[in-house]
Amino acid sequence: MRKINKAGDTEPLSSGCVTYLASLPLPTETAGCCPYIGELNDTYMDFGLGLPKAFSWQYTFGLPLNAFILFTVLLPLACGLIGLMIGYSASEAWAFIVGVRNELFSLSLGVSLFALALSLLIWFYVHNKYEEIIPTRFNRQRREVCFMPEDYEAPVFVPWESLSAWVIEAQGARPHGVQRQYGMGFGFFYDDRVVSMEFACPALPIAISNWEAIRAYMEYEVHTLKEITDPLDLQGPDDPPHEGMHTFRNARARLHQQIRDKQRGWVYGFFWYLYHVMTFWTLPFWLCEWEVGRVKRMARKALPDAMREWSEPLPKTQWAKPSPELLRLSAKVKALHKRNPRRSITGIFAEVYGTEDTERQQA
> Which ranges of the chain would DSSP assign to H, the alpha helix?
54-69, 75-85, 90-132, 204-218, 225-229, 245-260, 266-278, 283-297, 305-310, 324-339, 345-362
Distance of CA 342 to the CA centre of its chain: 24
**Residue 4 maps to a domain:** no
At 66 the pLDDT is: 92
> Looking at residue 133, what DSSP letter applies?
P
Q: Is residue 334 predicted with pLDDT exceeding 90?
A: yes
Between 243 and 13, the more confident residue is 243
At 314 the pLDDT is: 95
Q: Is residue 176 predicted with pLDDT exceeding 70?
A: no
Which tens digit of pLDDT belongs to each residue from 13-70?
A: 888 889 999 888 999 999 889 988 988 999 999 998 788 999 999 999 999 999 999 9
* Secondary structure (DSSP) of 195-209: EEEEEEESSHHHHHH
Domain that holds residue 97: 10-351
Sign of CA dihedral 26, 32, 38, 43: positive
At 11 the pLDDT is: 87
**Residue 97 maps to a domain:** yes
**Residue 128 maps to a domain:** yes
**Residue 84 maps to a domain:** yes
> Looking at residue 318, what DSSP letter applies?
G
Which tens digit of pLDDT belongs to each residue from 212-239?
A: 999 999 999 999 888 888 888 888 888 8
Q: Half-sphere exposure (CA, 13 Å, Cβ side) for 301?
A: 12
Average pLDDT of 339-358? 87
d(CA 153, CA 197): 18
**Residue 1 maps to a domain:** no
Q: How confident is the model at residue 2 (pLDDT cuts 50, 70, 90)?
A: low
**Residue 5 maps to a domain:** no
**Residue 360 maps to a domain:** no
How many domains does the structure of the chain reveal?
A: 1
**Which residues partner with 178 through β-bridges?**
173
What is this structure's pTM? 0.85
**Residue 256 maps to a domain:** yes
d(CA 86, CA 194): 64
Q: How confident is the model at residue 259 (pLDDT cuts 50, 70, 90)?
A: very high
Q: Give the number of other Cβ atoms within 10 Å of residue 23's Cβ.
A: 20
